[in-house]
Structure 1
Amino acid sequence: MTVTLDTKGIEEVINKLNTKFNERRVSQFVNSALNTAGRYAAVEIKNAVAGYRDTGATINEVVAGKARLRGGVRNIRIGWSGDGSKQRWRLVHLNEFGYTRNGHTYTPRGSGKIRAAYDNMQPKIKELEANELRKLLK
């Protein structure tokens, strides 16, 4: 399970940076801002999944990738490593959305927590990225 964060509204800051620096340098700055936002998002996701903590494996396997250019858009992936001994990425969707077994529908106590955390962190992530980029314009 991977969460993709969309940030809009910082285009004007990036345009100002493009006038001040070359394209390669601006890409480095944007990647740095995305990495900062990704670390914040990973912490928020860890806090969200703490609600159905048992052994702590789900929390320990949350990772934030590095900023990359994919399909012409710079983005960062937040998800579960999957290479740990517990491989909790296989169970996260069951905890998030619930499941049906033997005709009965189950909704775990952490159902919907990741989506709620995602919705709550969107404004803060935009603010973090914009602040990181604005530092360069001073």
Structure 2
Amino acid sequence: MSVTIKGEAEIIKNIEAKLGKSKATRVINKALRTAGEKNKGIVKEAVSSYIDSGRTHDLVITSGVKSNPKRVETGWASKERAPLVHLNEFGYTRFGKYVRPRGMGKLQGAVDKIESTAMKEMRSELGELVK
């Protein structure tokens, strides 16, 4: 799942002009890590609605800061969980009948929530860190 923010190069350039390159990198990375942890909480909340063994919920992780473009990714620690999450999100056919699991569409709701709040959270986080 991904959320794209347009104009991030201009934002980073403006921050670097005000703070310098090294401090800007620290500030931006801290803001991204904070946003990643919030996103992780939103995803965990979404998958908690269909907890069975709890492994899908427990294996939600956030990556470190990656570059080009700067980003933080939220996903599952185990590659084995992705197919199961996909089945819960989109449903499946079993014995010729379409099955709609409890968790159907929950992750899309989480992505929509993250998209609507990501820019505001990053802006407020960067504003607090620049002071």
Q: TM-score, normalised by structure 1?
A: 0.83
Contact 1:13 1:133 survives alignment (8 Å): no
The equivalent of 2:73 in structure 1 is: 77
Q: Which amino acid aligns with 1:113?
A: K
Q: Report the 3-state secondary structure (helix = DSSP H, G, I; strand = E; otherwise coil) of the residue aligned with 1:75.
A: coil
The equivalent of 1:66 in structure 2 is: 64
- 2: CA distance, partners of 1:98 / 1:108: 6
The equivalent of 1:16 in structure 2 is: 14
- Is 1:134 paired with 2:127? yes
Contact 1:52 1:110 survives alignment (8 Å): yes
Task: State the Cα distance separating 1:132 from its structure 2 match.
Answer: 1.6
Q: Which amino acid aligns with 1:28?
A: R
Unaligned runs of 5+ in 2: none
1:49-60 alignment, distance < 5 Å:
49-60=47-58
- 2: CA distance, partners of 1:100 / 1:60: 27
Quote the sequence identity (%): 34
- 2: CA distance, partners of 1:30 / 1:101: 47
Identify if the C-alpha distance between structure 1 residues 22 and 125 changes in structure 2 by more than 3 Å, giving closer, same or farther.
same
- Is 1:105 paired with 2:98? yes
Q: Which amino acid aligns with 1:92?
A: V
Q: Which amino acid aligns with 2:14?
A: K
Task: State the Cα distance separating 1:53 from its structure 2 match.
Answer: 0.8
The equivalent of 1:28 in structure 2 is: 26
Q: Which amino acid aligns with 2:114?
A: M
The equivalent of 1:5 in structure 2 is: 3
- 2: CA distance, partners of 1:90 / 1:28: 36
Q: Report the 3-state secondary structure (helix = DSSP H, G, I; strand = E; otherwise coil) of the residue aligned with 1:68.
A: coil
- 1: CA distance, partners of 2:123 / 2:8: 6
- 1: CA distance, partners of 2:129 / 2:71: 20
Question: Higher RCO, 1 or 2 (CA under 8 Å, sep at least 6)?
Answer: 1
Q: Root-mean-square deviation (CA), in Å? A: 2.0
Task: State the Cα distance separating 1:23 from its structure 2 match.
Answer: 2.3
- Which piece of structure 1 moves more, 12-21 or 29-38? 12-21
